[in-house]
C-alpha cells in the first residue's frame, strides 16, 4: 500500500504538457459536477481520435502554479469493459493508446452514499500503477442521513489520499488541489486481489508472453491477462491476431475449468472481500433519528413511478418545459432580432448599394441572423434537461418508460439514448453502446433521429411564432398555464416519440425480430440540481451553435445568396427576380413533388438545403426571402416576410396554420442531417443501415405530411 502522507513531487513524464489528471468514476457519482467545479469555463468538448466517444478536457492551476490538464473519462463501473466507451477509458488509463497522453494521476470520484459499489472500481485503479487520489463526493447526503464517514481511517485502509468534497459548494476543493499538487508520481501498483494458487504458474507464464509480445509493463500485462481469462469469447483484436497466444489462453481456461475454479467469480469475490475489510466501521451513525433518508425517496417514488400518476407527471413536466421554452425565450429572441434589424439598418444607411451590401444584409444577416435568433430556445432546452438529470428524475423516467418500450422491442437502456437525442441525435446514437443486445441497439439507432433534436427548434419556433396564435389552453383564473403555441411545440415532440415507438414496433416484428432483454438500473437519490452545471452546459452549447453558425451556416448562406441573386433580372419587379435565378429554376423543377404537401418552390429549396443540417431551413428561407423582397429599411425579420407572402396567381397567403403544421411534421419525421447519417454509418459498420434509415424517414415524412395537408384541406382547416 502507498503511504498517503508522502508529499514528494516526482518528475512528470508529460511535464511539457502540464500534469495530466484523469477523472474516473461510476456514472451518477458526481463526476461531472466535480469536473465543472474544478475547471469552470476552462473546458472543451470534442471526440477522441478515431472514435465517436465524447471527450471532455479542462484546465486548472494548482497552488504551486503548475497547470493541470484534467481529462473527464467516460463513466464506468469497472475496468472490465462492456461497451466501447468503457473500453476507451480503460485504454487511456492503461496507456494503451498512442494518440492520447497517459495520465500522471488518477482522480477517482467515489460516491460516499454507495461506497461498496464505487470502491470496486477503486480496487482496480490501485493496480494500474498510477497514483490515485479519492474524491469522496455526496458526503453532505451522508451527513443529512445522520451518519459520518471516518475519512482519515478510510484513507489509511485504502492507502491513498481520500478527500471529502461537496463540489457545488466548493467544500474540500482546495484540499483536493493540495493533494494533487503533493502526490508522488513514482508509486508501484498495489494488488488488491490474488490469483488462485492453482493457476499461478500458468498465469505468470502467460503474463510474461503478453508483456513481451505487446511491450507492456508487468502491471498492465497483469490486467490484460486478467481480462483474457475472464472473457467468454476471444473477441479481442490482439488475441485474434496472435493464434498461438489465443491457444495458450484457451488452454489455461480449460485447466481452470477442470479444477472447478470460476476465475471471474474468484476475482469479484476477492475484490468485495477487500471492500468489506476497508469499509467495516467506516460509516458511523451520529443521529439515529435522522437516519434512512431513503424513505423520503421511496415516498416520492410512489408517485413518480406510479403506473398511472407517473405517466401523468411525466406529461406535465414535459408540458411545463416546452411552454417555458416558448414563453421565456421570447424576450431575448426579440432582443436578438432587434439587434439584427439595427445592424441591417446601419448597413443600408452607411453602405453604397451593390452586391456587397446585399450579401451582408440579405445573405449574412438574413440567413445566419435569423437562425441565431432562436438560440435562447435551444439553450433553455439544454438547461431544463440538465436540471432534470441532476434531480434524479431522468433515471425514474427511464425506469417508468421501460415497460412501454419493451412492448415495442426497445431496451430499457434505450431511453437514455432517445432522451439524449432531444438535444442531438449524434450523442444519442453513440449512447446506444451501453445496449448489449445487437438488435435492440440497432432498432434504437434507427429510431433515435425521430426524437426532435435542438436543431429542429428554429423550424418549430419560426412556424409557431408566425402562424400559431397565442390562445390560452389551460388557465386558472387570470393566470395562463398553457397556450396553443406551447401545446403545438409539445405535440411535435410527442409526435416524434410516437413515431419512434411505432417504427421500433414495426422493426422488432419484421426485419429485426428478437426478444427485448430485461432492464436493470440503479435509481440515484433525489438531489438538489446544480445551477452552475446547467449554466456551464448552456455556455458550451451556445459556443458550439455559434461556431456552427459562423462556419457551415454562414457558408451555406453565402452560396444560397449567390444562387438566389444570379443571374440578375433587373427588368423584373424585385419580388419576381429570385424566381428566375438559379435557385428559382431548381425550385420550380422540384415543386411538383412537394406541392401535394402544401409546399412551394421556396420551401423546397430550404428543405433541400437543410439536408446539411435542419436549422439551415431557417437560414435558407431567410436568404431567399430577403433577396426576394428587396430593401425594407434594414428589417430582416423572417416571420414578417412569411406572413406577407402571397401566391402570385390567387393572391391568397402562401402560409397558413395548416402549411405551418405540415412543415413542422415534415421536419419531425424526415432525416435532414448528414452528420447523423455519417455517424449511423460508422456505428453500424457500413452504408446499408444508414441509407435504409434515410430512405424510410424521408418516405414516412412525405406520406404523413401528405395525409395531414390533404385531410386538413378537405375539412376546411386550410
| DSSP code string of 129-179 | SS-EEEEEE-HHHHHHTTEEE-HHHHHHHHTS-EEE-BGGGTBTHHHHHHH
- The more confident residue out of 630 and 15 is 630
Answer yes or no: do 251 and 221 share one domain.
yes
| SS3 of residue 34 by DSSP | helix
Q: What are the grid coordinates assigned to 601, written together? A: 418552390
Residues 147 and 46 in one domain: yes
Q: For the range 693-699, what are the long-range contacts, defined as Cβ-Cβ under 8 Å and sequence gap of 24 or more?
A: 693/445, 693/446, 693/449, 696/446, 696/503, 697/449, 697/450, 697/669, 697/670, 697/671, 698/670, 698/671
Last residue of a domain, one of 152, 182, 212: 182
Q: Which domain holds residue 32?
A: 15-182
- Position 290 pLDDT exceeds 70: no
271 within a domain of the structure (yes/no)? no
Does 707 score more than 90 pLDDT?
yes
3-state helix/strand/coil string of 540-561 = HHHHHHHHHHHHHHHHHHHHHH
Residue recorded with cell 440538465: 386
User: What pLDDT, on a 0 to 100 scale, did the predictor assign at position 235?
Assistant: 57
Distance CA 468, CA 156 (A): 65
Q: Is the model's pLDDT at 337 over the cut of 90?
A: no
What mean pLDDT is reported for the chain?
Answer: 80
State how many domains the chain has: 2
Pure H helices in 233-289: 237-241, 243-258, 263-279
Tell me the CB-side half-sphere exposure of residue 377, using CA atoms within 13 A.
28
Q: Is 70 part of a structural domain of the chain?
A: yes
Whether 230 is covered by a domain: the verdict is: yes
In the block, which residue shows the cell 423582397?
A: 629
Whether residue 22 is found in the same domain as residue 137: yes
Question: Which has the minimum average pLDDT: 275-284, 358-367, 449-458, 462-471?
Answer: 358-367
Q: What is the pLDDT of residues 384-430, one digit of tens each?
A: 877 887 788 877 877 777 777 777 777 666 777 787 777 778 767 87
> What distance in Å separates the CA atoms of residue 234 and residue 257, rounded to the nearest whole number?
17
Residue 706 belongs to some domain of the structure: no
Same domain, 145 and 246: no
**Does residue 83 sit in the same domain as residue 119?**
yes
| CATH code (residue 177) | 3.40.50.300
Q: Are residues 176 and 207 in the same domain?
A: no
Q: Which of 182, 207, 230 is the last residue of a domain?
A: 182
CA neighbor of 460 nearest in space, from 374, 388, 535, 386: 374
Select from 219, 244, 260 the last residue of a domain: 260
What pLDDT is recorded for position 7? 31
Note whether residue 114 is domain-resident: yes
Residue 84 pLDDT: 66
Dist. CA 347–CA 503, nearest whole Å: 50
Q: pLDDT digit string (tens) for 642-664?
A: 888 888 788 889 899 999 999 99
The model's pTM is: 0.64
Give the whole-angstrom CA distance, residue 64 versus residue 67: 9
Q: What are phi and psi of 593, to 5 degrees?
A: -80, -20
Residue 536, domain member (yes or no): no
Centroid of chain to Cα 549: 20
Instruction: Answer yes or no: is 445 within a domain.
Output: no
Q: What's the CA gap between 228 and 249, in Å, rounded?
A: 7
Q: How does DSSP classify residue 98?
A: T
Question: Could you give the CA distance from residue 673 to residue 231 in angstroms, rounded to a whole number?
Answer: 38
The residue-averaged pLDDT of 499-510 equals 90
Shared domain check, 252 and 103: no
Distance separating alpha carbons of residues 118 and 112, to the nearest angstrom? 8
Neighbour-count burial for 418-430, b at 16+ CB within 10 Å, e otherwise: bbbbbbbbbbbbb
Short-list 553, 609, 559, CA closest to 581: 559
Q: How far apart are CA 133 and CA 390, in angstroms?
A: 25
DSSP structure string for 285-343? ES-GGG--THHHHHHHHHHHT-TTHHHHHHHHHHHHHHHHHHHHTHHHHHHHHHHHHHH
Residue 210 lies inside a defined structural domain of this protein? yes
Residues 152 and 223 in one domain: no
66 with 133, same domain: the answer is yes
The alpha helices in 373-437, defined as continuous H runs, are 375-391, 393-407, 415-420, 425-430
Residues 205, 98 share a domain: no
DSSP string of 615-680?
THHHHHHHHHHHHHH--STT---HHHHHHH-B-TTT-SBS--HHHHHHHHHHHHHS---HHHHHHH
Note whether 142 and 231 are same-domain residues. Answer: no
Euclidean distance between CA atoms 103 and 642, whole angstroms: 55
Neighbours of 717 (CB within 10 A): 13
All 3 cell numbers of residue 424?
442531438
Q: Check residue 360 and give its pLDDT.
A: 83
Residues 178 and 213 in one domain: no
Per-residue model confidence (pLDDT) at position 128 = 87
Which residues pair with residue 25 across a beta bridge? 109
Amino acid at each position: 500500500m502507498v503511504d498517503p502522507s508522502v508529499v514528494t513531487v516526482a518528475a512528470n513524464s508529460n511535464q511539457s504538457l502540464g500534469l495530466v489528471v484523469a477523472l474516473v468514476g461510476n456514472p451518477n457519482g458526481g463526476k461531472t459536477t466535480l469536473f465543472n467545479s474544478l475547471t469552470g469555463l476552462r473546458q472543451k468538448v470534442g471526440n477522441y481520435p478515431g472514435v465517436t466517444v465524447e471527450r471532455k478536457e479542462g484546465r486548472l492551476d494548482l497552488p504551486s502554479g503548475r497547470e493541470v490538464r484534467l481529462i473527464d473519462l467516460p463513466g464506468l463501473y469497472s475496468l472490465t469493459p462492456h461497451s466501447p466507451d468503457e473500453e476507451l477509458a480503460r485504454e487511456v488509463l492503461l496507456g494503451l493508446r498512442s494518440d492520447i497522453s497517459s495520465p500522471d494521476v488518477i482522480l477517482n470520484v467515489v460516491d460516499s452514499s454507495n461506497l461498496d459499489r464505487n470502491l470496486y472500481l477503486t480496487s482496480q485503479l490501485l493496480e494500474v500503477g498510477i497514483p490515485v487520489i479519492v474524491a469522496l463526493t455526496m458526503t453532505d447526503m451522508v451527513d443529512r442521513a445522520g451518519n459520518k464517514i471516518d475519512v482519515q481511517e478510510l484513507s489509511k485502509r485504502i492507502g491513498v489520499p481520500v478527500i471529502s468534497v461537496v463540489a457545488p459548494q466548493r467544500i474540500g476543493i482546495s484540499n483536493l488541489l493540495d493533494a494533487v499538487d503533493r502526490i508522488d508520481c513514482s508509486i508501484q501498483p498495489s494488488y488488491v486481489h490474488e490469483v488462485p494458487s492453482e493457476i499461478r504458474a500458468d498465469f505468470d507464464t502467460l503474463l510474461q508472453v503478453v508483456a513481451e509480445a505487446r511491450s507492456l509493463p508487468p502491471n498492465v500485462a497483469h490486467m490484460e491477462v486478467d481480462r483474457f481469462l475472464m472473457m467468454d469469447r476471444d473477441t479481442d483484436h490482439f488475441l485474434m491476431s496472435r493464434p498461438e497466444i489465443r491457444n495458450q489462453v484457451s488452454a489455461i481456461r480449460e485447466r481452470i475449468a477442470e479444477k472447478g475454479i470460476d476465475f471471474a467469480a474468484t476475482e469479484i469475490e476477492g475484490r468485495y472481500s477487500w471492500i468489506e475489510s476497508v469499509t467495516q466501521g467506516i460509516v458511523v451513525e451520529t443521529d439515529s433519528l435522522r437516519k434512512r433518508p431513503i424513505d423520503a425517496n421511496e415516498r416520492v417514488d410512489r408517485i413518480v413511478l406510479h403506473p398511472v400518476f407517473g405517466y401523468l407527471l411525466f406529461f406535465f413536466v414535459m408540458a411545463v418545459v416546452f411552454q417555458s421554452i416558448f414563453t421565456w425565450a421570447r424576450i431575448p429572441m426579440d432582443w436578438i432580432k432587434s439587434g439584427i434589424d439595427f445592424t441591417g439598418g446601419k448597413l443600408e444607411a452607411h453602405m453604397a448599394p451593390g452586391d456587397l451590401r446585399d450579401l451582408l444584409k440579405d445573405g449574412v444577416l438574413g440567413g445566419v441572423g435569423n437562425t441565431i435568433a432562436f438560440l435562447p430556445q435551444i439553450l433553455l432546452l439544454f438547461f431544463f434537461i440538465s436540471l432534470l438529470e441532476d434531480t434524479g428524475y431522468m433515471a425514474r423516467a427511464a425506469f417508468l418508460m421501460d415497460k412501454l418500450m419493451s412492448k415495442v422491442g426497445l431496451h430499457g437502456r434505450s431511453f437514455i439514448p432517445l432522451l439524449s437525442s432531444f438535444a442531438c441525435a449524434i450523442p444519442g446514437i453513440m449512447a446506444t453502446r451501453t445496449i448489449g443486445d445487437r438488435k435492440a441497439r440497432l432498432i434504437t439507432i434507427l429510431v433515435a433521429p425521430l426524437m426532435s433534436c435542438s436543431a429542429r427548434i428554429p423550424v418549430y419556433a419560426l412556424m409557431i411564432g408566425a402562424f400559431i396564435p397565442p390562445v390560452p389552453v389551460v388557465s386558472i383564473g387570470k393566470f395562463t398555464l398553457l397556450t396553443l403555441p406551447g401545446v403545438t411545440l409539445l405535440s411535435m415532440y410527442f409526435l416524434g416519440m410516437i413515431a419512434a415507438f411505432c417504427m421500433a414496433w414495426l422493426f422488432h416484428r419484421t426485419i429485426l425480430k428478437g426478444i427485448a432483454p430485461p432492464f436493470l438500473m440503479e435509481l440515484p437519490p433525489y438531489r438538489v440540481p446544480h445551477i452552475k452545471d446547467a449554466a456551464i452546459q448552456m455556455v458550451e452549447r451556445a459556443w458550439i451553435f455559434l461556431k456552427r453558425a459562423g462556419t457551415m451556416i454562414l457558408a451555406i448562406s453565402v452560396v444560397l445568396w449567390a444562387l438566389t441573386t444570379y443571374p440578375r433580372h433587373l427588368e423584373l419587379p424585385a419580388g419576381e427576380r429570385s424566381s428566375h435565378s438559379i435557385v428559382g429554376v431548381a425550385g420550380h423543377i422540384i415543386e411538383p413533388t412537394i406541392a401535394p404537401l402544401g409546399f412551394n418552390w421556396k420551401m423546397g429549396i430550404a428543405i433541400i438545403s437543410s439536408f446539411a443540417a435542419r436549422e439551415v431551413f431557417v437560414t435558407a428561407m431567410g436568404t431567399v426571402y430577403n433577396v426576394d423582397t428587396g430593401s425594407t429599411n434594414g428589417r430582416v425579420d423572417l416571420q414578417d416576410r412569411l406572413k406577407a407572402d402571397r401566391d402570385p396567381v390567387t393572391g391568397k397567403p402562401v402560409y397558413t396554420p395548416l402549411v405551418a403544421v405540415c412543415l413542422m411534421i415534415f421536419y419531425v419525421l424526415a432525416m435532414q442531417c448528414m452528420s447523423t447519417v455519417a455517424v449511423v454509418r460508422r456505428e453500424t459498420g457500413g452504408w446499408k443501415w444508414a441509407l435504409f434509415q434515410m430512405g424510410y424517414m424521408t418516405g414516412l415524412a412525405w406520406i404523413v405530411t401528405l395525409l395531414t395537408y390533404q385531410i386538413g384541406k378537405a375539412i376546411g382547416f386550410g
